[in-house]
Amino acid sequence: MYDIIIVGAGPAGLTAAIYARRASKTVLVLEAMTYGGQIINTPDIENYPAAAHISGLDFANKIYEQATALGAEIVFEKVTEIKDGAEKTVVTPDNTYTAKAVIIATGSENRKLGVEGEEQLVGRGISYCATCDGAFYRKKTVAVVGGGNTALEDALYLSDLAETVYLIHRRDAFRGDEATVNALKQRSNVKFIYNSTVTKLNADKRLTSIEVTDRNTGEVSTIELNGLFVAVGRIPENQNFAQLIRLDDSGYIEAGEDCLTNVPGIFAAGDNRVKSVRQLVTAAADGAVAATAAIKYISE
């Protein structure tokens, strides 16, 4: 029986482990893949306070070392179910663990475009995060794919940095807010490409151009660019908890800034919960909030 089981060893989960261990709680972190979460794909983090430049991999290694040095136990098993009760039961294919409280910090993954070569070009012209990587494209040409609020806000953010921003959407109407669409229309360096999908990525070590196909006419055009920002939605990793934990229509855990879920003693931290800013610093903040709430729950 652990005091706290944390599901997921990304920045939120490992920060929660640090806070819980510093409060002398016994902590088990269960991770399905590798520690660090999505941040390991970021070549250079420039927006984390007091770390002007650090690679995502170095960041992940440092936070892992910090959590384990404090005594957090980390086991690489995928959690398939959480059961409520006087104690919480956490099930993996290999084991069943129990704890007084559970923090779900499983994150979310970017939905991919599904175009050949996409994964190999991440960090070499393809990005899923404009606020993380936009600064690398100052005075350059970029494109954003998507029609939701993320794509619109990414395009707006990038239009302050890049020389030209193409906004490519597969329909002729945006899903995101009209006010942001109107703000984009005021920007002379934003060019809209409607009813189109990215069908080919051309690269020479880095991405050099994309081919875009008009869905109505079938016409293919080539756009020379330096960066492609993919903003076609995210997939929160909450499917295994949907029986117990209340999720919104998009699959995010319905927990606010206090990280409380509908089940007492089960908390949500990081990108897998409903929130408006999904950044490294907000994931770490969630870890601290969720661990503090879990410690309070146990003591009560």
**Annotated active-site positions, please?**
129, 132-133
By beta-carbon proximity to ligand NAP, the closer residue of 24 and 221 is 221
Select from 64, 74, 88 the least CA-distant residue to 29: 74
Task: Give yes or no for a contact between 16 and 269, defined as CB atoms under 8 angstroms apart.
Answer: yes
Hey, which residues between 4 and 23 contact ligand NAP (CB under 6 A)? none
Interacting residue with ligand NAP among 138, 171, 206, 215 (CB under 6 A): 171
User: Which residues, including other chains, have CB under 8 Å from residue 260's CB and lie 6 or more apart?
Assistant: 267, 293
Residue 37 in contact with ligand NAP, rule: CB under 6 A: no
Task: Give yes or no for a contact between 273 and 1, defined as CB atoms under 8 angstroms apart.
Answer: no
φ, ψ for residue 190, nearest 5 deg: -105, 125
Residue 175 in contact with ligand NAP, rule: CB under 6 A: yes
Residue 276 in contact with ligand NAP, rule: CB under 6 A: yes
Select from 20, 14, 72 the least CA-distant residue to 292: 20
Residue 236 in contact with ligand NAP, rule: CB under 6 A: no
Select from 221, 234, 224, 228 the least CA-distant residue to 158: 228
Percentages (nearest 5) of helix, strand, coil residues in the chain: 30, 30, 40
Q: Interacting stretch for ligand NAP, rule CB under 6 A, among 5-13, 117-125, 210-218, 229-237? A: 229-237
Interacting residue with ligand NAP among 87, 233, 297, 298 (CB under 6 A): 233
| Residue 55: both structure tokens together | 């690679």
By beta-carbon proximity to ligand NAP, the closer residue of 98 and 213 is 213
Residue 275 in contact with ligand NAP, rule: CB under 6 A: no
- Name the residue whose CB lies closest to ligand NAP: 148
- Burial, 270: exposed, middle or buried (Cβ in 10 Å; 0-12, 13-18, 19+)? buried
Residue 145 in contact with ligand NAP, rule: CB under 6 A: yes
Q: Interacting stretch for ligand NAP, rule CB under 6 A, among 97-105, 149-157, 185-193, 200-208? A: 149-157
φ, ψ for residue 290, nearest 5 deg: -65, -40
Site string for ligand NAP, 82-121 (x = CB under 6 A): -----------------------------x-xx-------
Q: Interacting stretch for ligand NAP, rule CB under 6 A, among 66-74, 116-124, 131-139, 230-238? A: 230-238
Residue 237 in contact with ligand NAP, rule: CB under 6 A: no
Please tell me the distance from the alpha carbon of residue 299 to that of residue 293, in angstroms, as a whole number. 10
DSSP codes of every residue in 6-68:
EE--SHHHHHHHHHHHHTT--EEEE-SS-TTGGGGG-S-B--BTTBSSB-HHHHHHHHHHHHH
Residue 251 in contact with ligand NAP, rule: CB under 6 A: no
β-pair type (196-204, 190-193): unpaired
Residue 197 in contact with ligand NAP, rule: CB under 6 A: yes
**C-alpha distances out from residue 279 to 61, 115, 162, 272, 282, Å:** 18, 26, 21, 12, 5
By beta-carbon proximity to ligand NAP, the closer residue of 122 and 298 is 122
Interacting residue with ligand NAP among 106, 127, 150, 226 (CB under 6 A): 150
Q: Interacting stretch for ligand NAP, rule CB under 6 A, among 10-18, 118-126, 170-178, 289-297? A: 170-178
Tell the smallest beta-carbon distance from residue 109 to ligand NAP (Å). 12
Residues that bind ligand NAP (CB under 6 A): 111, 113-114, 145-151, 153, 170-171, 175, 197, 231-234, 276
